[in-house]
Each structure stands twice: as C-alpha cells, then as structure tokens.
Amino acid sequence: DENRSSADAFNWLGDGFVIGNHYYVHSLYMAKEGVLGFEQKGEDLVRFDILDNKVDLDSRVTIKDENSNKLCYVAKDGSLSVIFGSAVFENTKEAKALNPDGYIYNFGYRDEKNASYFRGLVLSRVKAEDVEDFSKYEYLSETGWQDDITKTKPLIDRVSCEMSVTEINDEESEYYGKFLLTYEKDTIGDEICVAYADSLGEEFKDSTVVYSAIDTKKIEGTSHYNA
C-alpha cells in the first residue's frame, strides 16, 4: 500500500524466529482507525543480523509484503481476514526438531463473516532458505498445500491472535512427538487452553482449559487479552 505512513499507523510485532545468522520477526502494519483505534492493514517481515550471539538492531532490513498479500490478507469489504505471524515453528535440523523437513511453519488466524467457526487457526509454510521469497509460501487448505492464502482451512477455532506451538520432545511424555498449541480462548476471555496435534498440518484436538483467570470477575472494568 503506497499510503503506508508512520503518521497514521504503527507496527506491532508478531512472532520471531532464527535462520542461520539472521533473526526474523513479523511486523504487523496497524492503521490508527477502527473501533479499537487500530486495524491491521498489512504485514512485513523484518530481518536482523546476529553478531556475537546478539541481535544487531542497526542491521534492520524490511522485506515488504505490500503487494503480494502473502503474510496477511484483509478483504476490503471486511468479509475475510487471514493474518499470519502469530506462532512460528522451525522444523529444521538447526532448531533440533524431531522430524525436520526444512520448512518454517507459520501459524495464524482466520476471521470470516457468517462462518461456522470463530477465529480459526490456519497454517502456512516455506522452506527456510526461501523465507524472504513470498512467492514460495504455501497454505494448508481442504485440498492440501496450495498458493492461495484465502483458501486456508481452520485447524481449530476460538484461538487468540497471539499463541505458541511447541513440539513435545520429552521421551517420557505420553505426548512425545506431538505438537502443543497454547492459546487464550476467544482472544479476550478468562480461559487459557492447550490442544494437541499428531503432526504439523493436522487438526488440533482435545482442547483443555489449564487456567481460568478470576480477575475479570473480581475487578470491575478489566479484561484479559492474548494472555
């Protein structure tokens, strides 16, 4: 969008990850508008060099996704939004994944008017060496991996905008080799939940509340957001 400007918008950081000697972080472009005073209009990927095991903030390079809509898609009529960068899983040897395939898996969420789900978890992937080439990104749909971000399918619903996906590598755990999703149900709510998937790309099941916050019931005017 040629109208991007720091005067009428700001950047909100999503999840980050490391490839080689580079640290990447998703940078959500938030316009200062809408009911809450901010509304996502785009997203970029920001790269930093890692020097002496520290992130060199002066080395910042922005890989812009202004025109391809591969990290974020927001329909002009508000009927659909698909936003990635919420949780990244590096399925690589360098990250010591149990079954590395060389892909960076990027989890996000899908909001759709009149859908049977609410805030569905969606998934994209790209080979680690191609992470800066948005044309190489793939999206999981009902028919498998394809290149259309709008065809993403929910793997579980009622997730939050910020969350995490972790591979369970404790050999003594009954969940060894499975993937753990941790999120706040409905983004703004009282329940912190976990759910499990047998492998990357599978649906997350057995959603379980692991913590119920009571602050909102005891303190007037409070809420939880992406806890």
pLDDT in tens, 26-45: 999 888 777 777 777 889 99
* DSSP 3-state of 151: helix
Q: What is the pLDDT of residues 56-105, one digit of tens each?
A: 999 999 999 877 799 999 998 989 999 999 999 999 999 999 999 999 99
Element (DSSP H or E) covering residue 215: helix 215-218
The rounded percent of the chain whose pLDDT value lies above 90 is: 77
Mean pLDDT, the chain, integer: 92
pLDDT attached to residue 40: 79
Tell the burial category of 70 from Cβ atoms under 10 Å away from its Cβ (0-12, 13-18, 19+). Answer: buried
Instruction: Report CA-CA distances (Å) from 52 to 21, 42, 55, 93, 104.
Output: 10, 32, 8, 21, 24
CA 105, CA 111: separation in Å to the nearest integer?
A: 20
pLDDT attached to residue 226: 80
Global pTM reads: 0.92
* DSSP 3-state of 99: coil
